[in-house]
């Protein structure tokens, strides 16, 4: 009786001792009699006592491998320290377990040699400005090299690049000189732009002034032209009035049947108006000379 109970208790203890629960994002590599048997995923598993053993417990989460800064030499023989960070994930627990001894140490050494090869092809300035290219090339090389180890390299980031102190001082001087050069260029461009604006303003002012003077000359010419036209029209109207008055006078004489002496007397009056005390010499037609003498005589008798 006690033997049976003890045997049952022993079996329960053995079974319970060999029950394993694999949590999320983890995997167990199981060996049976020293050889790989299976990989346990998430869930409850029971291994055979004395035959099965857990060879490795592997996490499937993404991991960060932060390695110490590595000295590298550029193409132009400048030694600098570069610090890299690698983001990786185990995709095959079996390959990770049996692929390489100490995988993280292997990845560190591989990243160091890869980084030195890449930087050795670049000069200092290219190294400082080509981080994305360095990251991509390292990721491709490391991902290909770690694939047989069951590791996936997701990203590689160059965290810090530290040139020698002398190079840093030279770079600071260069940056300071570049900033001063840009400042002078901006100042010169500002003065140039200001001069251009002033010149354009003066040009616009001169154009407006010339247009105003031209408009004034045109207005004066038009005014003079209008005045000349009005003066000519006035003279023409005066001539027309004189001609009309003459025509009316002739028509009047004709209508009253004026005789020859009367016409001659009117002619004499006309000559007197023409002279108006201003003429020094007047030519009198022969037909009215006698009439003029008669008028003069009459005028003298009247004065007496």
Which residue is listed with tokens 């002078």? 184
Per-residue confidence (pLDDT) for residue 282, from 0 to 100: 52
How far apart (Å, rounded) are the C-alpha atoms in residues 116 and 113?
A: 5
Contacts of 136-139 spanning 24+ positions with Cβ under 8 A:
138/84, 138/111, 138/114
Domain 62-163 maps to which CATH number in 3.30.479.30, 3.20.20.140, 3.20.20.105, 3.40.50.1010?
Answer: 3.30.479.30
Per-residue confidence (pLDDT) for residue 283, from 0 to 100: 54
Per-residue confidence (pLDDT) for residue 298, from 0 to 100: 43
Per-residue confidence (pLDDT) for residue 272, from 0 to 100: 56
**What is the mean pLDDT for each group of 10 consecutive residues in the chain (304 residues)?**
78 81 92 91 88 91 90 88 92 92 91 92 86 92 92 92 81 83 88 88 88 86 84 79 69 60 57 53 54 48 44
Per-residue confidence (pLDDT) for residue 230, from 0 to 100: 84
**What are residue 109's DSSP bridge partners?**
none
The full set of domain ranges for the chain reads 2-59, 62-163, 258-276+283-304
Residue 155 DSSP code? E
């Amino acid at each position: 009786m006690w033997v049976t109970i003890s045997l049952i208790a022993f079996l329960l203890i053995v079974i319970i001792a060999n029950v394993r629960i694999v949590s999320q994002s983890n995997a167990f590599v199981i060996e049976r009699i020293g050889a790989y048997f299976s990989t346990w995923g998430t869930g409850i598993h029971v291994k055979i006592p004395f035959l099965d053993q857990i060879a490795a417990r592997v996490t499937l989460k993404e991991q960060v491998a932060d390695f110490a800064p590595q000295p590298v030499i550029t193409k132009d023989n400048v030694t600098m320290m570069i610090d890299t960070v690698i983001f990786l994930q185990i995709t095959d627990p079996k390959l990770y377990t049996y692929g390489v001894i100490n995988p993280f140490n292997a990845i560190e050494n591989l990243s160091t040699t890869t980084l030195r090869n890449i930087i050795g092809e670049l000069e200092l300035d290219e190294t400082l400005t080509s981080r994305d290219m360095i990251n991509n090339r390292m990721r491709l090389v490391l991902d290909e090299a770690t694939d047989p180890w069951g590791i996936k390299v997701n990203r590689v980031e160059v965290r810090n690049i530290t040139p020698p102190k002398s190079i840093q001082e030279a770079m600071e001087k260069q940056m300071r000189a570049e900033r001063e050069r840009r400042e002078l260029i901006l100042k010169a461009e500002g003065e140039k732009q200001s001069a251009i604006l002033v010149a354009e303003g003066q040009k616009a002012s001169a154009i407006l002034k010339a247009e105003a003077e031209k408009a004034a000359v045109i207005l004066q010419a038009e005014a003079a032209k209008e005045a000349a036209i009005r003066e000519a029209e006035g003279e023409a109207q005066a001539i027309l009035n004189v001609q009309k008055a003459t025509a009316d006078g002739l028509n009047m004489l004709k209508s009253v049947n004026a005789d020859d002496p009367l016409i001659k007397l009117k002619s004499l009056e006309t000559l007197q108006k023409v002279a108006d005390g201003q003429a020094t010499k007047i030519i009198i037609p022969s037909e009215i000379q006698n009439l003029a003498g008669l008028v003069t005589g009459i005028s003298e008798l009247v004065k007496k």
